[in-house]
Amino acid sequence: MLKVALHNLGCKVNAYETEAMAQKLEDAGYEIVPFNEKADVYIINTCSVTNMADRKSRQMLHKAKKMNEDAVVVAAGCYVQTATEKLLEDLSVDILIGNNKKKDIVEELQKYFDDNKYNKNVIDINATNEYEELELATVTEHTRAYIKIQDGCNQFCSYCIIPYARGRIRSREFDNIRQEVTELAKKGFKEIVLTGIHLSSYGNNENKLIDVVEMIAGIEGVERIRLGSLEPNIVTEDFAKRLSKVEKICPHFHLSMQSGCDNTLKRMNRHYTSDEYFEKCELLRKYFDNPAFTTDVIVGFPGETQEDYEISREFVKKVRFSELHVFKYSKRDGTVAAKMENQIPEPVKTERSEDLIKVGENLTMEYRRKFIGKKVSVLFEEIINVAGENYWVGHTKEYIRVIMKSDKDISGDIKNVSLIGFANECLNCKNIEKKGVGKEIMLATI
């Protein structure tokens, strides 16, 4: 039995596709082993979102060949799409598999073993309308399952290479989604997370995404539905109203923002203003009680003045996000932004990043503080040891991380609990963050 090791780089969509490839290989008789073990085949599902991601992809491909020079090394995914010619010259790589062709992983390996020669299966991703049907019979997480329902992007933001790596928007068939979720629910997965490269464009219509949500809500065994990253423009009165009527929906919205400054948004080729973004948040607040808003913010984008940064910083506080993911702008060759004038020096980007991270941390604590003394629903997932005692870890619908002591195995259980405060304060454990439990984690009791 041949051993295969897989390594994933990049987003949740990539992670989903890596797991799907692993299951196909296992079904075909391969043994799946950890990536740091000696294997006959190494598969790296690459990322190409930044120059750094490209470099990490190359490093992992070379590492694989060094671990076993006789192994077959497969490069798959986004970096393959953006750097095909360069990879054709890379002696560490034996097989290239582009996006939309990962479903053929078993066949491509068999071709290689039959012919013992270099294989390349890379299509013009920008010329296809086909959605690649990959699905999971199980997932590595014990309680929630990420389900990919969309691929591709038509936005062409000035900093982003993804439309060139993933192609145009394509959507998964409704019935295929139903089938996969039904099977996962039978296996005990209670939370379904819908994801895609540009989830908001599913079916080219905001109502199509709601249709999927409503369909999943009717599947027996599904207790929660969580949406992946959304574009603010999908939020209309009808969208918010229909979504609020789905009892199983999690009131946690990751609304893509990137900047709170209109000047910067325009240079980024984002298709909204800060005022429009804020209106969307308020619309969701109209239909949901204290929803959680999370987002990504890029600092140090080309041309971002100190005033632009401060405008963005103040806007972040105005929205009152429950969590921020802050990124320093990273130049990506092949994008419009990479050629823009007034590139920001790295020390300035670092200073702004550190400052905004602190703002985000304060907002996170402020949001969670509102839940102290309240009853919430928590899906418990795993057990950790804190200060010599075992605690179960879970998340509320708003994606607030919670720990609770229990002598019973409650993994996969959804329980109504009371939040009594922040764990590090309640337990008086100053080293709690070293246990993998940050200061924003809350303590619960039945």
Helices 174-186 and 206-217, packing angle to 10 deg: 30
Name, in order, each residue with C-beta under 8 angstroms of 170's C-beta and a sequence gap of 6 or more.
128, 129, 130, 131, 132, 150, 151, 152
Walk across the sheet containing 95-97 and list its strands: 31-33, 3-8, 41-46, 72-77, 95-97, 119-121
Nearest to 340, CA basis, from 263, 399, 445: 263
Give dist(CA 264, CA 297) in Å, integer. Answer: 11
- The CATH number for 144-369, chosen from 3.30.70.3290, 3.40.980.10, 3.80.30.20, 3.30.565.10, is 3.80.30.20
Residue span(s) of the chain under CATH 3.80.30.20 come to 144-369
Task: Kindly indicate whether the domain formed by 3-123 is annotated with CATH number 3.40.50.20.
Answer: no
The pTM is what? Answer: 0.91
Q: Is 145 exposed, middle or buried (0-12, 13-18, 19+ CB in 10 A)?
A: buried
The segment(s) of the chain belonging to CATH 3.40.50.12160 are 3-123
Residue by residue, pLDDT tens for the chain (446 residues) are 899 999 999 999 999 999 999 999 999 999 999 999 999 999 999 999 999 999 999 999 999 999 999 999 999 999 999 999 999 998 899 999 999 999 999 999 999 998 877 778 887 888 888 888 888 776 656 678 999 999 999 999 999 999 999 999 999 999 999 999 999 999 999 999 999 999 999 998 878 999 999 999 999 999 999 999 999 999 999 999 999 999 999 999 999 999 999 999 999 999 999 999 999 999 999 999 999 999 999 999 999 999 999 999 999 999 999 999 999 999 999 999 999 999 999 999 999 999 999 999 999 999 999 999 999 999 999 998 877 788 999 999 999 999 999 989 999 999 999 999 998 888 765 555 545 567 889 999 98
